[in-house]
Amino acid sequence: MNDSNWLRRVLFVLLLGFGELAAAQANLRIDTPAVAALRASMRENHKQLAPLYASGAVGLTRDGNIGLRDANLVPLAQRAEVNGLIAQANQDRGALYREIARANGRPEWENDIRATFAQRWIERAQPGWYYQNTSGAWVRK
Amino acid sequence: MHRGGRSVVTALLGCGALCACVTINIYFPAAAAERAADRIIEEVWQLQPDSAKPPAGKPAGPQ
């Protein structure tokens, strides 16, 4: 093996290293069919949830889900329906965090992704909506 | 360059590459995750893209 050959190999390895580094800084994949289906489902679900956030009946939990904050704000006849909406939303959210981790080949990132979403949902929530602070108390934004 | 020097450099580079791989594997790309989260939240909640104030610019976040 001569010197130029050796140098070529070293350069090749360095390039591979930079390539990997660049890949790690790039965007997370969110374009799989499973993620697209969950996004569509959540968008539909949100049409019914929006007034419940606004009234304060439902709030954003600190763990990236949503929860019933004040059942008294929901007429008795609608409570079962609202509970179903919340259950559906949380099922979608759990599946979304899991799917994004899986789509990126890192199932162990699920909890990190959930924590990131938890923070971003609250950050992007509209004024007047309720969210849970880090100690679990409901706060009006 | 001598053969001995070459193999030492190769070995060092190898160790560096291995460490880099291990580091990348355990590293969670928080900024990329925030961007991904924002894109999905904007779609689900039908919001305008929040490009004016990047997420990293806020010190404390909620609360």
Q: Nearest CA of chain B to the CA of A7: how many Å?
A: 10
- Is A2 inside a domain boundary? no
Dump pLDDT digits (tens) for A37-82: 999 999 999 999 999 999 999 999 999 999 999 999 999 999 999 9
- Is A14 inside a domain boundary? no
- Is A126 inside a domain boundary? yes
Provide the pLDDT for residue B61.
43
CA A123 to chain centre: 13
Confidence of residue B16 (pLDDT cuts 50, 70, 90): low
ipTM of the complex: 0.83
Provide the pLDDT for residue A21.
57
Dump pLDDT digits (tens) for A2-32: 667 766 776 666 666 655 555 555 899 999 9
Q: Which residues of A touch B (CB under 8 A)?
A: 3, 6, 10, 13-14, 16-17, 20-21, 24-28, 30, 39, 42-43, 46, 96, 100, 109, 112-113, 116-117, 119-124, 131, 133-134, 139, 141
Q: Which helix (H) or strand (E) holds A31?
A: none
Q: Which residue has the higher pLDDT, B14 or A1?
A: B14
Q: Which amino acid is at A37?
A: A
Q: For residue A39, give its domain range.
A: 30-140
Per-residue 3-state assignment (H helix, E strand, C coil) for A49-98: HHHHHHHCCEEECCCCCEEECCHHHCCHHHHHHHHHHHHHHHHHHHHHHH
- Is A20 inside a domain boundary? no
Lowest mean pLDDT among A114-118, A136-140, B29-33, B45-49: B45-49
Q: Which amino acid is at B46?
A: Q
Confidence of residue B63 (pLDDT cuts 50, 70, 90): very low
Provide the pLDDT for residue B13.
72
Dump pLDDT digits (tens) for B19-38: 665 555 568 999 999 999 99
B10, HSE (Cβ side, Cα atoms, 13 Å): 14
How many domains does chain A divide into?
1
Rg (Cα) of chain A, in Å, rounded? 22
Provide the pLDDT for residue B49.
87
Provide the pLDDT for residue A36.
97
For residue A130, the cross-strand partners are A59, A140
Confidence of residue A95 (pLDDT cuts 50, 70, 90): very high
Provide the pLDDT for residue B21.
56
Domain boundaries, given as residue ranges, for chain B: 3-50
